[in-house]
Amino acid sequence: MAGHLISLMIALPFFGAILQALLPPVGGKNSSGSVTRWAALLSSLAASLCGIVLVGSMRQQVPDFQVSETFAWIGSYAISYDVAIDGLNALLVLLISIVFPLLIAAESNRKSGLRGIQALLLVLQASLMGAVCAQDLFLIFFFWTLSSLPIFFMIGIWGGEGREKAAIQTMITSAIGNAFLFAALILIYYSIDPHTFSLRELAGGKLAGKTFQILESEFSVSNVAFAFFGIGLAFRIPIWPIHGWFTQVAREAPPSAFVALGAVTVPVGMYIFVRTTYTLFPETVAQMAHTVAMIGAVNLVMGGICAVAQRGLTMLLAFVCLGEVGALLIGIGSLSSAGVVGSIFQALVLGLGVAGFGLFAGIISDRTGKTVFKDEDGKVAIGGIASQAPMIAVVAGVMIASLLGIPGFGGFVGRSLLMIGSFSVHPVVVLFGGLAFLLATYYLFGMYRTVFFGKAVSEKSSDFMDLTAWEKAYLVPLVVSLVLLGLYPKFLIELVRPTALTLLSTIK
């Protein structure tokens, strides 16, 4: 029964998306009709409910898969539909369940093309949920590549001035990334006999010592496949220096698309990296952990330095994201239980924080019609919002506090676990990390000061409207969950820890 809940969680948004095409435009003021609007929201919420029920009913201290559903799909090529939830992906399920209904709610006042964007968000929800729950390499790949399409269309159709370039760049980078992943997939599949894609069967160092030949020289399967996995995912989550497309997206995409990318796709990509590489190539991971942590440190520092120079809210967010990806990589590369658990927890908190940041940035740019808060000569373009719209200021404050890791919010728990876990392994890296966080305090609070406290710039911002009831309804869950995660993280951490320990035990 519980297994069906996972499939339901993946299938419901798909049905919602199909409904968007079929339902008649009835009710409401705009051309799409309120029936489709509610159908989208309800199908997303229903899927989320399944997710929350699943995670809530999980037992602590159990390292194995707690719920799963399996059947053969293409039996002759050992491709199966195999979805399951354990401690490692439970938090990601939670993240997707929380963020997507909010995104759909945030989009539901759009005037034109509402059906389209809702359908795309629903497809994205389903595909990311599938990618998180899948336990078969082929299935992971299937859902993960499917998730690149909705983003492309959302940017291309509803984006800003330079949407064409941004969309095409996104498509090309993700095509390259997917090609690498595909190469890794085939390599793994054919290097093992009997051929299989199942992560459960491939686990436990089955690939150790396997080699293949190209032009008389011999390569180790696990090293090459690890590199392909790493590179393939690096094209889909922003890793310096291949982050150009990501900042393009930040500049051009509609807020909901960027949130879907930065707050959900990025953590999911990190999760896939951990799940596949830790399970498949424990030896290679042990050798390459330092490199992963180094890449993380470079990302963290570069993200921080670039963020200082930003004048736009979403661009700032993009570089915050880039830096945070670095932090997660440091935790993943530490190979210590606190570091890995911290990374997974931080992935959830980061997603919620970025989602909140992206949504309030969208609201601000919607009301003021501006995307930058300082113009080119450093003059303030958006300012003094706090006095007119205190609610937005509070929400933004909570998001920033959580992104910065101030005690009492989710970010603190994740970040401190991550740093504590990594310090014993890479002290220098953590030192750099600390510096980057100081930098983050500077630029995030600098932005907050300008936008919320400073002087109001023009008459237009003097009638700046505070959050409407609808906006409150979709921002409050984010604030509440960030505070709850900061005050009582134990339940979720105890879910993750046993699974992380089991995974790590195969590496050492």
Partner 1 sequence: MKDFILLLPEIFLGLTLAGIIAGEIGYYGEKVRLITATALAGLAGAFVQSWAIYRHGDALVWGQDLSVDALSLFFKMFFILLAGLTIVASIFTKEVDSNKRAEFCALVVASTLAMGLAACSADMLLGFLVLQFMNVVSYCLAAYGKRSSLSTEAAMKHLVLGSASSALFLFGLALLFAHTRTLNIYEMHHVLQSNPIPVQTGLVIFILMFSAFCYQFGAFPMHLASPDVLEGSPTVVSSFLSLGSRVAGFAMALRFFVVVFAKPVLEGGATDPSSAQQWTAIGGFQWQQIVALASGATMLVGALLALRQSGAKRLISYLVMAESGFLLMGLLVLDQSGVAALLYSLLIQLFALVGAFSVVGFLLDEIESDRLSDLHAALSRSIPECISLILFLVCLVGLPPFPGFIGKFVLIGSVIHRGWYLLAAAGVITMAISTAAVARLAFSLVRNFKDAGQFQWPRWEPRRVYLMALLLPLLLIGFFAEPLLAWTAHSARFILW
Residues that bind partner 1 (CB under 8 A): 72-77, 112-113, 127, 141-143, 145-146, 149, 152-153, 156-158, 164, 167-168, 171-172, 175-176, 178-179, 182-183, 186-187, 189-190, 212-215
Of the two residues 75 and 369, which places its CB atom closer to partner 1 in the complex? 75
Instruction: From 477, 178, 266, select the one nearest 186 (Cα to Cα).
Output: 178
Amino acid letter, 85: I
Distance CA 314, CA 327 (A): 20
Q: Is the dihedral of CA 225, 231, 237, 239 positive or negative?
A: positive
Closest approach, Cβ 82 to partner 1, in A, equals 15
Contacts of 189 (CB under 8 A, 6+ apart): 137, 195, 196, 197
For residue 261, the minimal CB distance to partner 1 (Å) is 17
Query: Rounded to whole angstroms, how far apart are CA atoms 88 and 283?
Result: 20
Supply the minimum distance, in Å, between the C-beta of residue 146 and partner 1.
Answer: 4
Smallest distance from the beta carbon of 385 to partner 1, in angstroms? 28
Q: Which is nearer to partner 1, 169 or 343 (CB)?
A: 169
- Kindly state the smallest distance separating residue 135's Cβ from partner 1, in Å: 17
Nearer to partner 1, 186 or 487 (CB): 186
Measured from the CB atom, is 66 or 220 closer to partner 1? Answer: 220
CB-CB contact of 259 with 358 (8 Å): yes
Instruction: Specify the residue for token string 């919620």.
Output: 352
Q: Which is nearer to partner 1, 152 or 357 (CB)?
A: 152
42: exposed, middle or buried (Cβ count in 10 Å: 0-12, 13-18, 19+):
middle
Q: Is the peptide bond before 489 cis (omega within 30 degrees of 0)?
A: no
* Nearer Cβ to partner 1 (149/507): 149
Tell me whether residue 219 or residue 453 sits nearer to partner 1 (CB atom): 219
Two tokens at 390?
């205190």
Q: How far is the CB of 408 from partner 1 (least distance, A)?
A: 42
What tokens were used for 202? Answer: 């491939």
Task: Work out how close the CB of 211 gets to partner 1 at its nearest, in angstroms, rounded to a whole number.
Answer: 12
Quick one: which H or E segment has residue 79? strand 79-85
Is residue 91 within 8 Å of 496, Cβ to Cβ?
A: yes
CB of 435 to partner 1, least distance (A): 38
Using the minimum distance from each CB to partner 1, give the nearer residue, 49 or 157.
157
Nearest to 155 by CA among 230, 262, 242, 238: 262
Choose between 164 and 366: whose C-beta lies nearer to partner 1: 164
CB 95 within 8 A of CB 348: yes
Of 27, 48, 188, 41, nearest in space to 108 by CA: 41
The helix/strand/coil state of 437 is helix
Type of residue at 165: K
Tell the smallest beta-carbon distance from residue 434 to partner 1 (Å).
40
